[in-house]
Structure 1
């Protein structure tokens, strides 16, 4: 996907999430947080700042698992998913990294519709 295609798909995704939850996510971090909550499976509740960061990490691992970068390794004693890095994540500048994640987030949501 080129940058323009990613931007178009991203805006469409934000519109879809807004129609589902009633509020447009502010940025990639907000989407990652929502994915993390979904993947944790405990439903909406108040999370500490550290837990929010952990949820975003869960989301990154989950969306990148679709391309084989991470593999699910079960749950810890508190029921939080564990992931293992299985291949190196490509390096890039900040914009390239953001587009890389956006592309995987878009793919994640598309995979839910199948």
Structure 2
């Protein structure tokens, strides 16, 4: 299945209505990120990266994606760093870093890391 805006919308709507297997969600996100990386046209690539970032944010917010899975966590972080100039990538990266710091307890201070979201 080709990654298109329509397919992203379908998967998003489906995932919010029924419980999809975690393996499917992780595999689909991985496929979307790989697709974005393979695009040659920069404007198309940036548009798709932004949409994929929004999809991942939605999955995290709705607890559809378990970002604590180390494999997908590293892959999404790498994706965000690679496309840090694209709107949507930095907020997604900060969301992930904030979730990491909140689950690791108070042993790490967010003020010591410039990539963390300030004051949130």
Structure with more helix by fraction: 2
TM-score by length of 2: 0.24
Structure number with the higher strand fraction is 1
Relative to the length of structure 1, the TM-score reads 0.25
